Structure 1
Amino acid sequence: MSAEERRESVVRAAITEFARGGYNGTSTEVIARRVGVSQPYLFRLFPNKQAIFLAAAERCLEDTRQVFAAASKGLEGEEALHAMAAAYQQLIVDDGEKLMMQMQMYAAVAAAEAAGDHAFGESLRAAWVRMWDDVHITLGADESETTTFLAYGMLVNTLASLGFPGDHRVWSGFYVSGRPTE
């Protein structure tokens, strides 16, 4: 396996482990073990734990951005909005680890900021802004539509992370296939 392929394996393993344990609760040893490499080799691929976490978090944001782009390709307005919403809901169902990694990312950046480390979240804020910009353009550069769409996404993240079943009343205001749920 090439170094680039190993690096990719580390990112995938890191998503799984950080999604479960968070930044502080995940050791590089458990990531190395999951990939089947030694810790010294892990640190030849990435300079430190923070770099591994950032690569995993950036991957989750990029994957989400790509899901939105693929879902909305060739669509405009309401059609694009509903296609992106449906695709995101499917992403959460199919790959819950990415959702949990996103939530861990928000918590880790907030903790770093509270501790005075303002650089920790710079690349993640930049990746999030790229996603915001793509959604904004897709939705016709309408700030209200962009904000509403992403706000609903964060609500979806919160409800899904808290484990609310799909038939719970807290989901009742969401749209399915362009129509409000009943």
Structure 2
Amino acid sequence: MSAEDRRESVVRAAITEFARGGYNGTSTEAIARRVGVSQPYLFRLFPNKQAMFLAASERCLTDTRQVFMDAAEGLEGQEALHAMAAAYQRLIVEDADKLLMQMQMYAAIAAAGASGDHGFGESVREGWVRMWDEIHVALGADENETTTFLAYGMLVNTLASLGFPADHRVWSGFHLSARPADPSAG
């Protein structure tokens, strides 16, 4: 396996491990074990744990942006909005680690900022702005639509992360098709 293939394996493993354990609760040993390599080998691919976390965070955002853009391709306005919402719903149900990684990423970057390390999340903030820009264009460059879409998305992230089933009353303000599928129903 090439170094690039190993690096890709590390990023995928890091998403899973950081999603489940958070930045501080995840060891590089756990990532190495998941990939099947030694810790010293990890550090030939990434200079440190922070670089692994940032690579996993950036990949998570890139993958999410791609899901949105693929869903919106050839569509405009409300059609693009509904297609992106449905695609995101599928993503967070089919790949729960992506949802959890997003939540861990926000928490880790907020904690770093609170302790004075504002540079820690710079690349992630840049990735998030790229996502905002791409969604903005897909929704017809309407700031209200973009803000509303992302605000609902963050609410979906929060409710899904907290484990509320699709039939719980906290989802009542969502159109039925915007509610997540109930993972226990099947």
SS in 2 for 1:88: helix
SS in 1 for 2:59: helix
Q: What amino acid does structure 1 have at the position aligned with 2:57?
A: A
Structure 2, unmatched stretches of 5+, are 179-186
**Deviations along 1:6-45, whole A, 9 cap, x unmatched?**
0000000000100010000000011001101111100000
Normalised TM-score (structure 1): 0.96
Query: How far 1:174 sits from its partner (Å)?
Result: 1.2
**8 A Cα contact 1:28 1:49, kept in partner:** yes
Report the equivalent of 2:123. Answer: 123
Report the equivalent of 1:62. Answer: 62
Report the equivalent of 1:47. Answer: 47
In structure 1, distance between residues paired with 2:30 and 2:93: 26
Q: What amino acid does structure 2 have at the position aligned with 1:140?
A: G
**8 A Cα contact 1:86 1:176, kept in partner:** no
In structure 1, distance between residues paired with 2:115 and 2:177: 43
Matched, 1:144 2:129: no
Query: How far 1:176 sits from its partner (Å)?
Result: 4.3
Matched, 1:170 2:151: no
Q: What amino acid does structure 2 have at the position aligned with 1:70?
A: D
Report the equivalent of 1:105. Answer: 105
Query: How far 1:173 sits from its partner (Å)?
Result: 1.4
**8 A Cα contact 1:14 1:53, kept in partner:** yes
SS in 2 for 1:24: helix
Which stretch shifts more, 169-178 or 61-70?
Answer: 169-178
Q: What amino acid does structure 1 have at the position aligned with 2:96?
A: G
**Deviations along 1:119-164, whole A, 9 cap, x unmatched?**
0000000000000000001111110000000000000000000000
Q: What amino acid does structure 1 have at the position aligned with 2:22?
A: G
**8 A Cα contact 1:7 1:45, kept in partner:** yes
The runs of at least 4 aligned residues of structure 1 exceeding 6 Å deviation read none
Query: How far 1:92 sits from its partner (Å)?
Result: 0.6
Question: What percent identity do the matched residue pairs reach?
Answer: 83
Report the equivalent of 1:2. Answer: 2
Structure 1, unmatched stretches of 5+, are none
> What's the Cα RMSD here?
0.9
Normalised TM-score (structure 2): 0.94
Report the equivalent of 2:183. Answer: none
Report the equivalent of 1:155. Answer: 155
**8 A Cα contact 1:82 1:177, kept in partner:** no
Query: How far 1:85 sits from its partner (Å)?
Result: 0.4
Query: How far 1:169 sits from its partner (Å)?
Result: 1.1
Report the equivalent of 2:30. Answer: 30
In structure 2, distance between residues paired with 1:176 and 1:91: 17
In structure 2, distance between residues paired with 1:103 and 1:56: 13
In structure 2, distance between residues paired with 1:108 and 1:136: 26
SS in 1 for 2:75: coil
